[in-house]
Amino acid sequence: MIVYNIRRAKYAKQLMASGVANRWNKDEEYVIYVGSSISLSVLEMVAHRNTIQANGNYRLLVIEVNATRKDITEIQVKDLPANRRSIHSYPALQQIGSDWYRQNKTLLLEVPSALVPSEKNYLINTRHPAFHEKVKLLRTEDFGWDQRLL
Protein backbone atom coordinates (compact mmCIF):
# COMPACT_ATOMS: atom_id res chain seq x y z
CA MET A 1 0.00 0.00 0.00
CA ILE A 2 1.05 3.58 -0.63
CA VAL A 3 0.42 6.13 2.13
CA TYR A 4 1.29 9.81 2.56
CA ASN A 5 2.72 12.16 5.14
CA ILE A 6 3.28 15.92 4.92
CA ARG A 7 5.93 17.50 7.09
CA ARG A 8 8.44 20.30 7.31
CA ALA A 9 11.33 19.70 4.90
CA LYS A 10 13.93 19.55 7.66
CA TYR A 11 12.20 16.40 8.97
CA ALA A 12 11.61 14.79 5.57
CA LYS A 13 14.98 13.21 4.88
CA GLN A 14 14.11 9.95 6.60
CA LEU A 15 11.18 8.11 8.14
CA MET A 16 11.22 9.11 11.78
CA ALA A 17 8.75 9.93 14.50
CA SER A 18 9.02 12.63 17.13
CA GLY A 19 7.57 10.65 20.03
CA VAL A 20 5.36 13.62 20.94
CA ALA A 21 1.82 12.82 22.13
CA ASN A 22 -0.99 13.24 19.63
CA ARG A 23 -4.54 11.95 19.08
CA TRP A 24 -3.58 8.25 19.03
CA ASN A 25 -0.30 8.12 20.96
CA LYS A 26 1.24 9.21 24.24
CA ASP A 27 4.65 10.82 24.76
CA GLU A 28 7.65 8.63 23.95
CA GLU A 29 5.63 6.43 21.57
CA TYR A 30 7.27 6.65 18.17
CA VAL A 31 4.60 6.45 15.49
CA ILE A 32 4.31 8.03 12.06
CA TYR A 33 0.85 9.28 11.12
CA VAL A 34 -0.01 8.75 7.46
CA GLY A 35 -3.09 9.20 5.31
CA SER A 36 -4.49 6.79 2.78
CA SER A 37 -4.55 9.59 0.20
CA ILE A 38 -2.75 12.85 -0.40
CA SER A 39 -5.98 14.82 -0.08
CA LEU A 40 -6.78 13.24 3.29
CA SER A 41 -3.26 14.02 4.48
CA VAL A 42 -3.76 17.65 3.43
CA LEU A 43 -7.13 17.83 5.17
CA GLU A 44 -5.70 16.37 8.38
CA MET A 45 -2.89 18.94 8.37
CA VAL A 46 -5.32 21.79 7.74
CA ALA A 47 -7.38 20.62 10.73
CA HIS A 48 -4.23 21.19 12.78
CA ARG A 49 -3.39 24.41 10.98
CA ASN A 50 -1.92 26.13 14.02
CA THR A 51 1.13 23.98 13.22
CA ILE A 52 1.31 24.96 9.54
CA GLN A 53 3.67 27.79 8.69
CA ALA A 54 2.35 29.20 5.42
CA ASN A 55 5.80 30.30 4.32
CA GLY A 56 7.41 27.10 5.57
CA ASN A 57 9.18 24.59 3.41
CA TYR A 58 7.05 21.41 3.31
CA ARG A 59 7.53 18.02 1.68
CA LEU A 60 5.12 15.26 0.77
CA LEU A 61 6.48 11.85 1.74
CA VAL A 62 5.30 8.97 -0.44
CA ILE A 63 5.66 5.82 1.63
CA GLU A 64 5.30 2.20 0.59
CA VAL A 65 4.19 -0.25 3.26
CA ASN A 66 4.44 -3.90 2.26
CA ALA A 67 1.71 -4.99 4.66
CA THR A 68 -0.83 -7.77 4.72
CA ARG A 69 -4.01 -7.79 6.82
CA LYS A 70 -2.08 -9.60 9.60
CA ASP A 71 0.22 -6.54 9.85
CA ILE A 72 -2.72 -4.22 10.58
CA THR A 73 -4.85 -3.69 13.67
CA GLU A 74 -8.12 -2.08 12.60
CA ILE A 75 -10.14 0.29 14.78
CA GLN A 76 -13.74 0.83 13.71
CA VAL A 77 -15.95 3.82 14.45
CA LYS A 78 -18.33 1.63 16.47
CA ASP A 79 -15.49 0.81 18.88
CA LEU A 80 -14.74 4.45 19.67
CA PRO A 81 -16.19 6.88 22.20
CA ALA A 82 -19.18 8.91 21.02
CA ASN A 83 -17.13 12.11 21.33
CA ARG A 84 -14.26 10.69 19.24
CA ARG A 85 -14.05 13.83 17.09
CA SER A 86 -13.58 16.10 20.09
CA ILE A 87 -10.30 16.96 21.72
CA HIS A 88 -11.95 15.68 24.92
CA SER A 89 -11.65 12.15 23.52
CA TYR A 90 -7.85 12.30 23.36
CA PRO A 91 -7.21 10.42 26.62
CA ALA A 92 -9.39 7.48 25.50
CA LEU A 93 -7.95 7.46 21.97
CA GLN A 94 -4.39 7.79 23.26
CA GLN A 95 -4.99 4.78 25.48
CA ILE A 96 -6.21 2.72 22.52
CA GLY A 97 -3.15 3.72 20.50
CA SER A 98 -0.79 3.26 23.42
CA ASP A 99 -2.08 -0.25 24.10
CA TRP A 100 -1.54 -1.11 20.43
CA TYR A 101 1.94 0.41 20.45
CA ARG A 102 3.09 -1.33 23.63
CA GLN A 103 1.74 -4.73 22.56
CA ASN A 104 3.85 -4.38 19.38
CA LYS A 105 1.86 -7.11 17.60
CA THR A 106 1.20 -5.29 14.35
CA LEU A 107 3.09 -2.75 12.28
CA LEU A 108 0.06 -0.56 11.51
CA LEU A 109 -2.93 0.78 13.35
CA GLU A 110 -5.78 1.61 10.95
CA VAL A 111 -8.10 4.30 12.30
CA PRO A 112 -11.07 6.14 10.83
CA SER A 113 -10.36 9.76 10.04
CA ALA A 114 -12.09 12.11 12.47
CA LEU A 115 -12.72 14.41 9.52
CA VAL A 116 -13.91 11.87 6.94
CA PRO A 117 -14.91 8.72 8.87
CA SER A 118 -15.19 6.59 5.72
CA GLU A 119 -11.49 7.22 4.99
CA LYS A 120 -8.54 5.74 6.84
CA ASN A 121 -5.45 7.07 8.52
CA TYR A 122 -2.68 4.80 9.70
CA LEU A 123 -0.13 4.89 12.46
CA ILE A 124 3.14 3.17 11.70
CA ASN A 125 4.97 1.76 14.71
CA THR A 126 8.62 2.63 14.08
CA ARG A 127 9.69 0.28 16.87
CA HIS A 128 7.98 -2.77 15.35
CA PRO A 129 10.46 -5.48 14.27
CA ALA A 130 9.16 -5.37 10.67
CA PHE A 131 9.44 -1.58 10.30
CA HIS A 132 12.76 -1.51 8.43
CA GLU A 133 11.81 -4.49 6.29
CA LYS A 134 8.28 -3.45 5.29
CA VAL A 135 8.27 0.36 5.29
CA LYS A 136 10.10 2.30 2.61
CA LEU A 137 10.27 5.98 1.76
CA LEU A 138 9.73 5.92 -2.00
CA ARG A 139 10.24 9.61 -2.62
CA THR A 140 9.62 13.10 -1.33
CA GLU A 141 8.10 15.95 -3.30
CA ASP A 142 7.93 19.68 -2.69
CA PHE A 143 4.58 20.59 -1.19
CA GLY A 144 3.15 24.11 -1.26
CA TRP A 145 0.03 25.18 0.60
CA ASP A 146 -2.80 26.82 -1.27
CA GLN A 147 -3.44 29.99 0.74
CA ARG A 148 -7.21 29.46 0.48
CA LEU A 149 -6.83 26.49 2.85
CA LEU A 150 -5.03 28.51 5.47
Tens of pLDDT, residues 82-139: 999 998 999 999 999 999 999 999 999 999 999 998 999 999 999 999 999 999 999 9
Mean model confidence pLDDT for the chain? 93
Higher pLDDT, 50 or 40: 40
Residues 29-54, mean pLDDT to the nearest whole number: 88
How distant, in Å, are the alpha carbons of 50, 54, 105, 110, 114 from that of 76?
28, 34, 18, 8, 11
2-8/108-112 β-pairing: unpaired
Is the per-residue pLDDT at 69 higher than 90? yes
Which residues is 143 bridged to in the sheet?
A: 58
Residue 148 within any structural domain of the chain: no
Nearest Cα residue to 124 out of 36, 65, 80, 77: 65
Residue 53 within any structural domain of the chain: yes
Residue 150 within any structural domain of the chain: no
Domain tally, the chain? 1
Q: Exposed (0-12), middle (13-18) or buried (19+): which is 111, by Cβ within 10 Å?
A: buried
> Which pLDDT does position 49 carry in this prediction?
66
Residue 82 within any structural domain of the chain: yes
Residue 63 within any structural domain of the chain: yes
Residue 149 within any structural domain of the chain: no
Q: Which domain holds residue 135?
A: 2-143
